[in-house]
Amino acid sequence: MKSSRRPFYPWREAPEADFAVLGDPVEHSRSPKMHHAAYEELDLKFRYIAVQCPSDEFASALHRLSSLGYRGVNATVPHKESAARWAQSVEPFVRKTGVANTIDLKAERAINTDAPGFLATLAKETLPNKKALVLGAGGTTRALLPALVDAGFECTLWNRTREKAERLLTDLNLKLPVVSHPESADCGLVLNTTSAGLFAAKLPIKWSGAVEGAIAYDVAYGRELVFLNEAQKHGFQVRDGLNLLVEQGALAFEFWLDQPAPRMAMKRAVLEDL
């Protein structure tokens, strides 16, 4: 165990348990706390741990966890593409996007709960229109952009490295405008999937007065976010990634255990840990 605050195990030392989140780094993950809160709420005797695994050892790690009797795994950065490749069976969304975050080890089946989780959080909002500016072209965008397109949003994409945005669209077989100078005007939704917030970096957005009810959404959470502060100053309603974290976790829980996840308890556990 490496950290007293949020314990994790190198995959070779992972103990017997039922579920795990695999990542590198993984010590920041709130998933163990969140899933344990769900088990406690429903009086389930499962154990969910955080496991550190370098990107080239993902398959070996899954093999080990599987032989220890684990039922399911969440894959986080940098393993979401490996998870999609590893599975013998994937849902159509994973086949299309090449990213999965939830695995049933026994069935060797992988699904993506980030995309439906994200749409579930948006479904609670009343957006003024379906025009979205999406910022970023990394792993998170690979799931959330197609989710938005499937939900009927008219999306424009910006990324610091423009070629990466273009490559992503080619990969996803999407024909969408890529802009060099992102502008918020007319957008009902401005979605930040970049990791700029981790470095407190400001994105080069040309903000103009928000359309009434427009939302700026950052997938990050648990810290002061420059992007959301800027957006709020320009009249946007702001949302961070906390509800997305809870919803993707709840959908993973339901996929593995086939019963409704106690979302309130899961959210409380994350809030207590911030």
Active site residues: 80
Q: What are phi and psi of 72, to 5 degrees?
A: -150, 160
Stretch that binds ligand ATR, among 15-23, 155-163, 173-181, 207-215 (CB under 6 A): 155-163
Question: Is 77 an interacting residue with respect to ligand ATR (CB under 6 A)?
Answer: yes
Q: 128 with 188: CB under 8 angstroms? A: yes
72 burial class (0-12, 13-18, 19+ CB within 10 angstroms)?
A: buried
Looking at the Cβ atoms of 6 and 164, the one nearer to ligand ATR is 164
Judged by DSSP in three states, 16 sits in coil
Q: What are phi and psi of 58, to 5 degrees?
A: -60, -50
Looking at the Cβ atoms of 165 and 187, the one nearer to ligand ATR is 165
- Strand partners for 111: 102
- Strand partners for 110: 90, 103
Judged by DSSP in three states, 189 sits in strand
Looking at the Cβ atoms of 105 and 137, the one nearer to ligand ATR is 137
- Strand partners for 23: 52
Question: Is 166 an interacting residue with respect to ligand ATR (CB under 6 A)?
Answer: no
Looking at the Cβ atoms of 121 and 192, the one nearer to ligand ATR is 192
Minimum gap (Å) between residue 247 Cβ and ligand ATR: 17
Question: Is 161 an interacting residue with respect to ligand ATR (CB under 6 A)?
Answer: yes
Rounded to 5°, the CA angle 260-274-263 comes to 10
Distances (CA, A) of 181 to 159, 184, 205: 9, 10, 7
Question: Is 222 an interacting residue with respect to ligand ATR (CB under 6 A)?
Answer: no
Binding mask 168-207 for ligand ATR (x = CB under 6 A): -------------------------xxxx--x-x-x----
Minimum gap (Å) between residue 199 Cβ and ligand ATR: 5
Minimum gap (Å) between residue 193 Cβ and ligand ATR: 6
Minimum gap (Å) between residue 248 Cβ and ligand ATR: 13
Q: What are phi and psi of 39, to 5 degrees?
A: -65, -45
| Single-letter residue type at 38 | A
How many other C-beta atoms lie within 10 A of the C-beta of residue 181?
Answer: 8
Closest C-alpha among 46, 73, 44 to residue 58: 73
Question: Is 101 an interacting residue with respect to ligand ATR (CB under 6 A)?
Answer: no
Looking at the Cβ atoms of 82 and 140, the one nearer to ligand ATR is 140
Q: How many residues does the chain have?
A: 274
Minimum gap (Å) between residue 6 Cβ and ligand ATR: 19
Binding mask 109-138 for ligand ATR (x = CB under 6 A): ---------------------------xxx
Looking at the Cβ atoms of 161 and 170, the one nearer to ligand ATR is 161
Question: Is 160 an interacting residue with respect to ligand ATR (CB under 6 A)?
Answer: yes
Q: Which residues bind ligand ATR (CB under 6 A)?
A: 77, 136-140, 159-161, 164, 193-196, 199, 201, 203
